[in-house]
Structure 1
Amino acid sequence: MSARSDLPPPRKNPFSPMAVARITDFDADPDAVDVAITTDATRQALAHLASYLDAPPTRGGRDRTGTVVAVLGDYGTGKTHLAVRLVRHARQVLADPTHALYLDATAESFIELYRRFMQKLGREGVRAQVSEYYADIVADSLQSSGLTSDMLEWLGSRQLEPQEVVERLGLMESALLRKVQDTLREVTNNKDFGTALTLLLRPGFEHSVWSWLLGGTPDQVLVERGITTPIDTEVAALEAMGVFALLFGGRQRRFVLAVDELDKIFSADSRPQAGTMAAFQTLLQVFAKAGACLVLCGLPDFKSVLPPAVRQRIPYTVVMSGLSQREVREFIELAQQQAFGTRQLAPFTVDTTRYLRDIARGNARNVIRLCHRVFRMADDLSHAPGGEFTVTEEMVRQAARDLFGSLSSDDIDGVVRRLLDAGGLDYLHRHLLGVAEESLADFWVTFPEHAGGCAVLITRSLLDNADVAAVLRRVSTVREAEPDAELILLVNGVVADGVAIQLRELLGREPLVYVDRTFADDFKALVSATGRRLGGDTDPMSALRWRMDQLAKQQSSIYGFIEHLAEHMDGVRASSDRQLGAIQRQLAALAGGASGTSGGTPVREVESSASRLPGEVERLFRDAVDALEDLTQVDVMFEEAFDHAPTTTQEAVHRRLRTPEFAQAATQAVFMQKAVQAFRAAVSQWYSSAEDADAEDRLEELCGIYDGIVEFLPLFLLDPLFKLPPWSARSGGLVAEVSQGSRRTRVHEALRNLSPRVRRAVFRSSRLT
């Protein structure tokens, strides 16, 4: 028996490795909540919701006034967590918990968002709501006839459904249903919906009505009643959502709908058409009229692209901010109390908690991920001889470097170079401004007719005093060499809060931190601003000549890109032909009765055909596996090597395999691919017992196992693969650089937060939805 066999097992880690809010079925497990602390934004949002929920009916017995609340914040600030918390709070207050719903707008269109909204409401839920209106009309009929005793009591308490009362007393059903139809037409302000919803009360029409409500073409039975238009446009979908806000928010009831990730529909890159925007404005008005509460969550971009007339319909805005030091300590204590039953800060200390918060800059997701990593690091070290279970600042720094891997130096140089080229700017790369080595500018941008220039200094993460000292020396040396130079400090990593404050005093602004989503716009704006400051009052003709030179350079850059793209497409076409031949040979082998792995057919293809998952779940796994395969192209490379390949192909294979960076990164990618495939197989097996009482817990456990594995497989370790051109494709410098960004984006989108997205897709496809 080894000496380590006597060591205690690893402690349970109380912190989530992915730090993504759990979106589960609220009814199935109302107590399954993440650790929650109450921030200023949380208090503000809960206050707006409480004001709506506690408001009495308006004068004259009319319905309550509705409201709209926008929750804005960057990635990882807790928007989804807050949206879920608001919905849970509303469900605790409302008499009918189905009147509070959460939706995420991952479908990128209002059509799909509406369909999922209807699936959340459910056919029986909609029918029950229509039945409430029927019950009111039957009750009015009973009161006018003098039969107001037991039947009214049973009807009010739902011991009897209105259809049973009508049947027992022999009331005229057709006349009552006409009153229901008239009422629903008045409530929804829509003739088609008034007719269709009333038909839900009649046997034999449910399927036709529900199919139409989900966007299908109207059946003949509906066409005969004047319903001829499907709900298959964004405008129609928004109008339909307003109809159900009126339906569920009427009768002095309250209705809460939280829509998350709206930035996927409203963004600067994909602005909806004018008709869609007008319909969205109408939806906000309808929610207010219906006495309903609409919570809209998204990145700050989401609200900024809305026209003023739409923004005016959003009376309340809650902006998510970073966690304070006190809030981080509170979170750590509550997370450990939930995991261990004892509220404690250890193994963290007040100082390491403060430092952790500063490095994460209060971003909730990054705080939780750092907590997970440093807790595990402290636990691992405690098992070593003489080790202590205490988190140190060095552990926090190491965890930050491991988790928030930045671009390689070549990649960040390529990104900056492309932006400068696209702007038609003159620059020198790695230009020495003085004698000292530290006067080296990564980019020296000059502006014709202007004195001086702009020095772009690129640095890694800035986490401690040593990092700051190194940057201060560079800045000081550059300013000595070029006193009039403008400076842009670009951080390719993360910056601790304390460091940011010091640099702000030195530079007059915070350093520019590379963030893929916003970097291009931020960098171009900074360079333009420095050019204006250097220019001062220049001769208008000189400025015009400089601008014309810029346009000429931009045009030349575009022509060069088109030429490289044409070459790239030729190479891709040749590679595609070879891959198509390989696929045909594999299919022929499979048709001939080959087993799961014969003929070179990947095991995952056989698994997919043998145990197909629901569409959305299958797509998530397929996208992840395919993105990794396309990145490494190991299968294609080896197939070509054995397919009577010429000497040049053999040499190309050898070159790649001799490159340590490729071998390490490809191994990392293969491990990721195997982890995804194993995760898919486990989820496929889970579906065979999805009806069991503990199904949700077992799915949660599977997701946790996957998260624990990929924690050791960070995506930034794949960076060497992004720099390689696609296998067999001819590569020009510009094409290779452009393809790096697109391939990186594809891989990151497919793999980032995979388990939470799988979990949501499974819930939507199973009985848990």
Structure 2
Amino acid sequence: MSGSDDLPPARKNPFSPMAVARIPDDFQEDLDPADVTIATDATRQAVAHLDSYLEGPADTGTVFAVLGDYGTGKTHLAVRLVQHARRVLDDPTRALYLEATADSFIELYRRFMQRLGREGVRAQVSDYYADIVADSLQSTGLTADTLDWLGSRQLEPQEVVERLGLMESALLRKVQDTLRQVTNNKDFGTALTLLLRPGFEHAVWSWLLGGAPDQVLVERGITTPIDTEVAALEAMGVFALLFGGRRRRFVLALDELDKIFSADKQPQAQTMAAFQTLLQVFAKAGACLVLCGLPEFRAVLPPAVRQRIPYTVTMSGLSHAQVREFIVRAQGGRGLAPFTPETVRYLRDVAGGNTRNVVRLCHRVFRLVDDRARETGDPDTTATDDMVRQAARELFGSLSADDLDGAVRRLLDANGWEYWHNHLLGTGEDSKAEFWVTFPDHDGGCAVLLEGSLLDNDDVTRVMRRLSAVREAEPDAQVVVLVNGVLTDGVAIQLREPLGRDPLVFSERSFAEDFKALVGATGFRAEQDPVSALRQRMDQLSRQQAGIYGFIEQLAEHVDGVRTSSDRQFSAIGRQLNLLVSAAPGRTSPESRLPGEVERLFRDAVDAVEGIVQVDLMLGEAFDFAPPRTQEAVHRRLRTPEFTDAAAKAILIQKAVLAFRAALSEWYRTQADSPDAEDRLEQLCGIYDDIVEFLPLFELDPLFTLPPWSARAGGLVVDANQTTRRNRVHDALRNLSPRVQRAVVKGLHEH
């Protein structure tokens, strides 16, 4: 072909670039045909637990946990369980999915109430009222049809009471007494009954959402707001009793509970006790509670709480056969091509069977095949192992080399270990250890070798060559191979024997503990005498203290720099905010402003990127007749290739978000009311996903090691809050298009 214009159009990629579970807000639409579900042992086990509850005695509840690492399909399974329960129960109000997006049960409870909805709660209370009205009419001689209409809600209980002139106050007192018995809570019995009386709905609903009780509630003895974690958990139990009462079933799936329960942030003892009570209440109420999260979620629970979770489903990786089945079904049953059985097997091994990684690799390899077919004119081009390796290296990078180097340095310093950096142990380049850790009264040392992804035999050969060179120079050396990327099972098996252990794969969640344990174990000598051990420990504590003092001095310098330039910073921030507001498409224009939740998602994404780049702020200050110190700080950042490369990618991401927002604003203006509006919305989201696929978030990591811009601290000083800044950016940008799509569709349905 002579030029790009002669190339045939790219085929539609049947695989999702983000591989994120779609979470419909109302769960009432049919399953997305493109959202393939593969039956695994874990999914069958989870469905069996749910079916056992749905088909069992009406007054028997259950609790079970779904645990798995990132990308193993926990959310996908939770959504499917809720949809399955809704089909069986034929009542959408009786099965709910809830994601723990905050770090406390207070916000989770508020979102739980919003999902139930005021009318949904009122309908449950009205059912109790209808039962009481029907009981009172049994001896009045009314026809069975009338009672059936009341029982089936063709007649509302209020309508029956009014038409027959029944004593409403006496009936409502019975409702209140019943609800107090059902919920085992006087305040809720009173408040829920008031939902049946005109004029009280707003006050009751405001209190149920956590607001201070209105005077009309205070007069009836309700004086305490639902604004603590213990109160929030108690309230969720109340609604389990309300919805699960009358021998009816209720299913609640709570996802991502590791955001609340983690080793870094364990709830207080009172909160943990209240959570244990919640589990007991669900079982007592005849309801089903599904708890989803990372394995660490269950690990931090005390034994008394774990005993209240009788069943645990553990997500595992996909097998080779399951990956083949997924590819065929994702392509509409048209077969495996352009993949081959051999590349499918290799792709599964590279992804480690992780569902999300499998889908993302399929998407990228399909695109590489399509590009090759268009370039060569050969429509029968098939996937190769080289394409899988290329896709893996593009997708699954972790930290930059410099960032990983810095992370290892900080851990070694924090533990007081003596080390040499980029130390040549022998004469050849292969004998170089990125870190050579030595121990007092200990022969040899520990060589830490940093590697990128290890995918094939060439990678094995390179690592083995380095191992041989290190051990030839230092026969007593222990070796830790730290992999910054992907490690396939085949490579791990080949390296296990010569290393004496598997290579350590960098994972932000567990790296610090795993690395400390590995290096610490190499420095332990059981036969060391007590005096030497004490001297070694004192030296280590001294080095740790020196490292802490150095960090404090560095932090003090950073704070001092921020303080001395504060006036100039506030002035510059004001100018740049004005510039951003005037330049960003649709940020302030009333006619193009998006609905509230949609606008917030875009605003958070744009602001999060601006917070780590701050190029406009930095350059604006540089041209504001800044002193030489500020000019030098600008030069230091611009002389750092890692900063300029990451900043360029961040700006491209920000521009993509703004372009996505502008396109969505135009969609609202011209297409939101058209019959194919949701199809066009899906296309816009797909375009955004295809763009940011080339801009993975891990490539922004160099920006997180820099502090927020200031004249003095504009250099390469490590920011103590870099994890917080990384989390903010990842939370704002990760899975942006699915969250935008859900918010838009929800707004349209409500409208």
Q: TM-score if structure 1 supplies the norm length?
A: 0.92
Cα shift at 1:515: 1.1
Say whether 1:604 aligns with 2:595: no
Distance 2:167 2:308 in 1: 44
Give the match for residue 540 of structure 1. Answer: 530
Give the match for residue 649 of structure 2. Answer: 668
Say whether 1:556 aligns with 2:546: yes
Give yes or no for contact 1:628–1:673 (8 Å, CA) kept in 2: yes
Give the aligned residue type for 1:22: R
Say whether 1:181 aligns with 2:172: no
Aligned-partner SS, 2:166: coil
Q: Superposed, which structure 2 residues align to 1:456-535 within 5 Å?
A: 456-532=448-524, 535=525
Say whether 1:701 aligns with 2:683: yes
Cα distance, 1:438–1:630 mapped onto 2, change above 3 Å: same
Give the match for residue 123 of structure 1. Answer: 118
Distance 1:483 1:586 in 2: 59
Cα shift at 1:759: 3.8
Cα shift at 1:570: 1.8
Give the match for residue 10 of structure 1. Answer: 10
Say whether 1:324 aligns with 2:296: no
Give yes or no for contact 1:381–1:389 (8 Å, CA) kept in 2: yes
Give the aligned residue type for 1:579: Q
Give the match for residue 267 of structure 2. Answer: 272
Segments of structure 2 that go 5 or more residues without pairing to the other structure are none
Cα distance, 1:119–1:694 mapped onto 2, change above 3 Å: farther
Deviation readout 1:264-300 (Å, 9 max, x if unpaired): 0111111111111111000000000000000000111
Give the aligned residue type for 2:255: D
User: Of 359, 363, 369, which aligns to 1:372?
Assistant: 363
Aligned-partner SS, 1:152: helix
Give the match for residue 223 of structure 1. Answer: 218
Cα distance, 1:143–1:126 mapped onto 2, change above 3 Å: same
Distance 1:649 1:272 in 2: 44
Give yes or no for contact 1:691–1:767 (8 Å, CA) kept in 2: no
Cα shift at 1:197: 1.0
Aligned-partner SS, 1:225: coil
Higher mean displacement: 572-581 or 463-472: 572-581
Give the aligned residue type for 1:638: L
Q: Superposed, which structure 2 residues align to 1:568-579 within 5 Å?
A: 568-579=558-569
Give the match for residue 206 of structure 2. Answer: 211
User: Of 349, 353, 375, which aligns to 1:358?
Assistant: 349
Aligned-partner SS, 1:384: helix
Deviation readout 1:634-692 (Å, 9 max, x if unpaired): 21232123212356655665665566655444332221111111223344555667677
Give the match for residue 640 of structure 1. Answer: 621
Cα distance, 1:275–1:743 mapped onto 2, change above 3 Å: closer
Give the match for residue 346 of structure 1. Answer: 337
Cα shift at 1:474: 1.4
Give the match for residue 750 of structure 1. Answer: 732
Cα shift at 1:479: 2.5
Give yes or no for contact 1:414–1:737 (8 Å, CA) kept in 2: no
Deviation readout 1:552-592 (Å, 9 max, x if unpaired): 111111111111111111222344432312344578xx7xx
Aligned-partner SS, 1:203: coil
Q: Superposed, which structure 2 residues align to 1:224-239 within 5 Å?
A: 224-239=219-234
User: Of 376, 381, 396, which aligns to 2:372?
Assistant: 381
Distance 1:698 1:212 in 2: 40
Cα shift at 1:324: 0.8
Distance 1:284 1:85 in 2: 22
Q: Superposed, which structure 2 residues align to 1:588-737 within 5 Å?
A: 602-604=582-584, 607-608=587-588, 610=590, 617-646=598-627, 649=630, 653=634, 662-684=643-665, 696-719=678-701, 721-722=703-704, 727-731=709-713, 735-736=717-718
User: Of 81, 84, 96, which aligns to 1:86?
Assistant: 81
Distance 1:159 1:372 in 2: 51
Distance 1:691 1:243 in 2: 41
User: Of 426, 447, 456, which aligns to 2:439?
Assistant: 447
Cα shift at 1:756: 2.9
Cα distance, 1:692–1:663 mapped onto 2, change above 3 Å: same
Say whether 1:41 aligns with 2:22: no
Give the aligned residue type for 1:16: S
Give yes or no for contact 1:151–1:165 (8 Å, CA) kept in 2: no
Cα shift at 1:432: 2.5
Q: Superposed, which structure 2 residues align to 1:254-269 within 5 Å?
A: 254-269=249-264
Distance 2:533 2:14 in 1: 60
Distance 1:765 1:112 in 2: 21
Aligned-partner SS, 2:381: coil
Distance 1:456 1:429 in 2: 10
User: Of 90, 97, 106, which aligns to 2:101?
Assistant: 106
Give yes or no for contact 1:28–1:768 (8 Å, CA) kept in 2: no
Cα shift at 1:616: 5.2
Cα shift at 1:744: 4.5
Give yes or no for contact 2:562–2:713 (8 Å, CA) kept in 1: no
Higher mean displacement: 749-758 or 736-745: 736-745
Aligned-partner SS, 2:481: strand
Higher mean displacement: 664-673 or 295-304: 664-673
Give the aligned residue type for 2:730: H
Cα distance, 1:18–1:492 mapped onto 2, change above 3 Å: same
Cα shift at 1:157: 2.5
Deviation readout 1:189-247 (Å, 9 max, x if unpaired): 11111111111111221111111111111112211211111111111110010000001
Cα shift at 1:526: 1.3
Higher mean displacement: 236-245 or 691-700: 691-700
Cα shift at 1:26: 3.5
Give the aligned residue type for 2:353: G
Distance 2:635 2:522 in 1: 48
Distance 2:323 2:70 in 1: 18
Higher mean displacement: 145-154 or 296-305: 145-154
Cα shift at 1:408: 2.6
Higher mean displacement: 152-161 or 683-692: 683-692
Give yes or no for contact 1:568–1:729 (8 Å, CA) kept in 2: no
Distance 1:333 1:347 in 2: 10
Cα distance, 1:727–1:605 mapped onto 2, change above 3 Å: farther
Identity %: 75
Aligned-partner SS, 1:561: helix
Cα distance, 1:262–1:685 mapped onto 2, change above 3 Å: farther
Higher mean displacement: 280-289 or 26-35: 26-35
Cα shift at 1:609: 6.6
Cα shift at 1:763: 5.8
Give the aligned residue type for 1:54: E
Give the aligned residue type for 2:30: P
Cα distance, 1:208–1:631 mapped onto 2, change above 3 Å: closer
Distance 2:136 2:634 in 1: 84
Aligned-partner SS, 1:457: strand
Higher mean displacement: 720-729 or 753-762: 720-729
Give yes or no for contact 1:432–1:440 (8 Å, CA) kept in 2: yes
Q: TM-score if structure 2 supplies the norm length?
A: 0.94
Give the match for residue 53 of structure 1. Answer: 54
Cα shift at 1:765: 6.1
User: Of 416, 428, 433, which aligns to 1:424?
Assistant: 416
Give the aligned residue type for 2:109: Y
